[in-house]
Amino acid sequence: MNQLFRDTVLVLYILGGFLMYQPEKSEAATFRLAELNGRSCLVQADGSPFFSLGINHIQNLTQREDVIDPVNACKQVFENLITWGFNTAGYGSPEPLTNLMPYFAPIYLTKNANYHSDKEFMYPDVFDPAVQERFREIIRYEIGKHDGNPNLIGYYWTDTPQWNLERARKTRETDWVSALRSLPDHAPGKKRYEAFRKESGATDDAFLRLIARELYRVVGEETRRLAPETLVFGERYLANDHPACVIEEALPYIDVLSIQPGGAVFPADYFDQLFETYQLPIIICDHQCSFPTAAYAKTMWQQMASEDAAGMAYSAYLDEAVRKPYILGYQRCQYIDVYEEHLGVLKQGMLQGNQAPYRTLVEYVSNANQRVMKLFDSECKRRVD
């Protein structure tokens, strides 16, 4: 991307959007959902449709010891994101960046995420009033941090919780139902399980539904109470780790299905089936394809043969995603390289560890983002007109 074009993009964004994102704080939510002649869209306060393209985990940059001025660092991040064709700071963004552009805010409630080590991992007793109050405290704290920020798109809850009973048993040698069943007799979850077993026989799937119902009732009601106008994107489900009973219990409290898919090819049939079943718009909340480098042979996510191949995979994936009328956006995993020592893999960003860009990847991503936004804008303008 030449410098003239780069500067022009920044100026147009600043004149057309950046200033718009810095009004005085307001009680009203900035973003809402709308249907534009058959397409589900995020819509900004001025009524313009918004296809969210973002990058997650940007806090990994400002947490580095060599970054001594987070505010200026976030200004550089903002410039990079806009230059690369992104319009969103994904979840895990530093506060200075959330004051510059639209963003998602996470609310981590349970420690049953796919990435937790066995030592950290646990299934909480969601029937315990003390646990429920702890959930409410977390929600109050997190919403208090973001309340009134007009750049907030919406809230996520826990990242990649392990719901699927069979998968959990294979990877953790336990599951949520078994965890509550094994509690002491005086524990609220054990009492609820025994009562349900006497009532109906309590199959594991049926009791999993009750767990989901209770969890979502508590966190859903509190989130809605404190942020009634803000979009709720719910838990970020790992693809195929979301039993039907779980999503069905979440539906009264969420506006969007948030899915973290794997692989390098857009799973059209999977997403089509999700939308057909639940009739909620979908956001691809975390995804990427990686490639080996001279320093790191092992990388997180599906590894492609080369930087070119990863860039082409991104382009193809995004092209298919934007053509689905129920997809609200795509959030790429990782801004800057982070080596996950405990896993022995590189979590690959758009920038290398020395903050130099992966130039080939950046070129593919920038071109794909610009192409997709032109398609989205022309389609939505046509439909609005």
Residues 119-137 as b/e (b if ≥16 CB within 10 A, e otherwise) read eebebbbbbbeebbeebbe
CA angle 81, 109, 333 (to 5 degrees): 25
CA angle 90, 308, 75 (to 5 degrees): 35
Number of domains in the chain: 1
Question: How far is it, in rounded angstroms, from Cα 287 to Cα 330?
Answer: 8
Cβ–Cβ under 8 Å, residues 307 and 300: no
Q: Check residue 30 and give its pLDDT.
A: 86
- Per-residue model confidence as pLDDT tens for the chain (385 residues): 444 444 444 544 443 444 333 434 444 568 999 998 789 999 999 999 999 999 999 999 999 999 989 999 999 999 999 999 999 999 999 999 999 999 999 999 999 999 999 999 999 999 999 999 999 999 999 999 999 999 999 999 999 999 999 999 999 999 999 999 999 999 999 999 999 999 877 799 999 999 999 999 999 999 999 999 999 999 999 999 999 999 999 999 999 999 999 999 999 999 999 999 999 999 999 999 999 999 999 999 999 999 999 999 999 999 999 999 999 999 999 999 999 998 999 999 999 999 999 999 999 999 999 999 999 998 887 655 4
Cβ–Cβ under 8 Å, residues 91 and 60: no
Phi and psi, residue 35, nearest 5°: -105, 120
Torsion angle, CA of 213/214/215/219, rounded to 10 degrees?
Answer: 100
Instruction: Kindly state the DSSP code that residue 100 receives in the 8-state scheme.
Output: T
Phi and psi, residue 138, nearest 5°: -60, -45
Per DSSP, the chain holds a count of helices (H) and strands (E) of 13, 15
Can you list the alpha helix ranges (DSSP code H) found in the chain?
3-13, 59-62, 70-83, 95-98, 129-146, 165-172, 176-181, 188-200, 204-226, 244-250, 268-278, 307-322, 359-384
Domain that holds residue 45: 3-384
Neighbours of 168 (CB within 10 A): 23
Query: What CATH number has the domain bearing residue 118?
Result: 3.20.20.80
Q: Which long-range contacts (CB under 8 A, 24 or more apart) does 190-194 make?
A: 191/127, 192/127
pTM of the shown model: 0.92
Q: Return all residues near 102 (Cβ < 8 A) that are at least 6 apart.
A: 21, 30, 31, 50, 52, 54, 87, 88, 89, 151, 152, 153
Query: Residue 284: which of 37, 87, 53, 38 has the closest Cα?
Result: 53
Q: In Å, what is the CA distance from 84 to each residue of 88, 163, 368?
A: 11, 36, 9
Neighbours of 32 (CB within 10 A): 17
Convert the pLDDT of each residue in 220-233 to its tens digit: 999 999 999 999 99
